Amino acid sequence: MLFPSLKGYRDKSDMYYTNMERVVSNILILFKSYGIQLYSYTTDEVGVCINRPQELGWIQPLLPEDEFFARKNCRNMDHGIRIAKQFPEIAGNVRKKYPLVEGMTQEERFELVCKRNLYFIREINKQMKCIIHIVSKSSMEYNIKPTPDDGKLFVLINNGNFQIQTFMNGEEIEPSIILGFPFANMPVHTWRSYDVRYK
In a domain, 1, yes or no: no
Complete DSSP assignment for 35-88: T---EEETT-HHHHHH--TTTSEEE--S-HHHHHHHHHHSTT--------B--H
Q: Where residue 2 falls among pLDDT bands split at 50, 70, 90?
A: very high
In a domain, 35, yes or no: yes
Choose from 40-44, 54-58, 187-191 the range with maximum mean pLDDT: 187-191
pLDDT at 132 over 70: yes
Residue 33 CB coordination number (10 Å): 12
CA 181 – CA 75 distance, rounded (Å): 40
CA 79 – CA 76 distance, rounded (Å): 6
- Residue 47 has a pLDDT of 86
In a domain, 39, yes or no: yes
Write out pLDDT tens, residues 74-94: 766 655 566 677 788 899 999
Q: Any idea how long the chain is? A: 199
In a domain, 57, yes or no: yes
Residues 55/60/64/70 CA torsion (nearest 10 deg): -90
**Closest to 181 in 3D by CA, of 163, 161, 195:** 195
User: What's the number of domains the chain is made of?
Assistant: 1
More confident residue, 22 or 56: 22
pLDDT at 199 over 60: no
In a domain, 95, yes or no: yes
In a domain, 189, yes or no: yes
Range of the domain at 139: 6-198
pLDDT at 198 over 60: no
Strands 57-59 and 39-41: parallel
Mean pLDDT of the chain: 86
